[in-house]
Amino acid sequence: MIIVDRELEEARRGDPVGVALFGAGFMGRGIAERVEATRGMRLVGVYRRGRDVGEFCAAPGTDVVVEATGSVEFGARVALAAMAAGKHLVTASSELDCTLGPVLRLRASRAGVTMSGIDGDQPGVLMNLYRFVRGVGGRPLLCGNIKSFYDRYRDPTTQAGFAEKWGQSPRMITSFTDGTKMSMEQAVVANATGMGVWRRGMLGPRVPAGTHVRDVLDRYPLEELSRCRVGIVDYVVGAEPAPGVFVVAEHRDPSHRKSLEYYKMGPGPFYCYYTPYHLCHFEVPFTVARVALFGDVAVDSIGPYVDVVSVAKRDLAPGVVLDGIGGYHLYGVCEDCGEVAAGGLLPIGLAEGCVLKHSVPKDELLTYGDVEVPGGRLCDELRAEQDAHFSIYSERKEVMDG
């Protein structure tokens, strides 16, 4: 952080980092406030409906475009417009990153710009911790999200009061409580690290309220993971400190383990590293600075390893137009991308606007065969490009040789 602070101070004296922001909801408003308050950074403008997206991205003085709308289709258009204008891109949208991150990262590389997810939200906090753990010699086996509440059947009606209290959209709050947002965040981490999931929907143990995350390691198959080529993403419900994140890592070197025990980390070989909070929009300027000043990526997208698929939240009738993320019809769960491709499963990031061909019972997975997909969507074109370009990883728990 010291080097970022110093560079921003230099930018303040000369040429501040210019930010063009898409999104004026809870997250967008917070980002705008923090950008304006950050030395060496200035807010070029906040997008308003009706303006030309390409012209807004190309506005003079813009160095970084921040996409914070949460819309997969509109976010994809913003991303391509930013790249066409030669601007770096910071995405505050796990919805977009989960669904189209690998192909957009490929497009950004071809355009000669940097694309990054944000510090502050769980994927960014987890990736900072993941990099730290590797830096101190640990082998990450599990990247985890700590949730205090999880009910797959919540909807915008049940969440309306809480949303009003905090000035947020009921659909956004629903996506938090029904697990879809958390699943998308963990898919983003998987696609940044090459990790997978142990099973569809992850393990997600529930523990008594107040249980410290250090004391939940026995809820995960760590010995089996130790023999796997790759780790997994997962979560826990009820543990503290919420809403933090954690990384379970393995240290096998005896000298490392002796030192870690001296530093009160326990005898090992499995160790729990954690960050007790995530501060969302407060931390976004750090990402903007990392991208603009150093070309450093907080959250990358190296390939499609895990996706989030659509599951019926209630019995659904033929002809229903699906309302997508955070709505009344669907919740999302993680699945390895090989299984998604093999089963023709419908990603929840692409479900909005699709029309059901026949009835689907509650808790049933939806496939492309179950729906009519709207025509002319950029998100579908990009998804087809992503599927064609990247290999699909069908087995993430392959046992290591020896």
Tens digit of each residue's pLDDT (9 = 90 or more) over 272-328: 999 999 999 999 999 999 999 999 999 999 999 999 999 999 999 999 999 999 999
- DSSP H or E run through 249: strand 245-250
Residue 72 CA to residue 80 CA, distance in Å, equals: 12
Could you give the CA distance from residue 6 to residue 15 in angstroms, rounded to a whole number? 14
- Residue 352: which CATH number? 3.90.1210.10
Residue ending a domain, choose from 247, 268, 294: 294
Asked if residue 242 and residue 275 are part of one domain, the reply reads: yes
- pLDDT number for residue 173: 96
229: tokens are: 């080529």
Classify residue 395: in a domain, yes or no. Answer: no
Instruction: Identify whether 400 is part of a domain.
Output: no
Does 317 lie in the same domain as 275? no
Ordered DSSP codes for 64-95: EEEE-S--HHHHHHHHHHHHHTT-EEEE--HH
Per DSSP, 240 falls in state: B
Q: Are residues 267 and 138 in the same domain?
A: yes
Report pLDDT digits (tens) over 117-168.
999 999 999 999 999 999 999 999 999 999 999 999 999 999 999 999 999 9
Looking at the structure, do residues 65 and 197 belong to the same domain, yes or no? Answer: no
Provide the β-strand partners of residue 311: 331, 365
Between CA 39 and CA 13 the distance in angstroms is 9
pLDDT at 186: 98
Reading the block at residue 310, the tokens are 């659509």
- pLDDT computed for residue 9 by the predictor: 80
Whether residues 213 and 127 share a domain: the answer is yes
Asked if residue 80 and residue 12 are part of one domain, the reply reads yes
Q: Examine the domain organization and report whether 142 and 246 are in the same domain.
A: yes
Residue 301 lies in a domain: no
What is the C-alpha separation between 158 and 313, in angstroms, rounded?
14
| Structural domain of 271 | 122-280
pLDDT at 125: 96
Give CA–CA dist 312/345, Å, rounded. 12
- Report angle CA 139, 142, 147 to the nearest 5 degrees: 145
- The pLDDT value recorded for residue 401 is 41
Q: Which two tokens stand for residue 392?
A: 């699909």
Q: CA-CA distance, 183 to 201, in Å (whole number)? A: 8
Please list the ranges in the chain whose pLDDT falls under 70: 1, 12, 391-402
Same domain, 245 and 192: yes
Same domain flag for 154 and 45: no
| Confidence at residue 142, expressed as pLDDT on a 0 to 100 scale | 98
156 and 32 fall within a common domain:
no
> Cβ-count burial of 290 within 10 angstroms (0-12 exposed, 13-18 middle, 19+ buried)?
buried
CA 379, CA 132: separation in Å to the nearest integer?
Answer: 34
Q: Could you tell me the CA-to-CA distances from 333 to 234, 238, 257, 309, 376 in Å, in that order?
A: 11, 19, 36, 6, 27
- Fill in the amino acid letter for 31: I
In a domain, 288, yes or no: yes
Residues 276 and 146 in one domain: yes
β-pairing verdict for 139-147 and 245-250: antiparallel
| Contact partners, residue 6, CB within 8 Å, separation at least 6 | none
Q: Are residues 6 and 115 in the same domain?
A: yes
Q: How many independent structural domains does the chain possess? A: 3
Domain for residue 48, yes or no?
yes
pLDDT of residue 398: 55
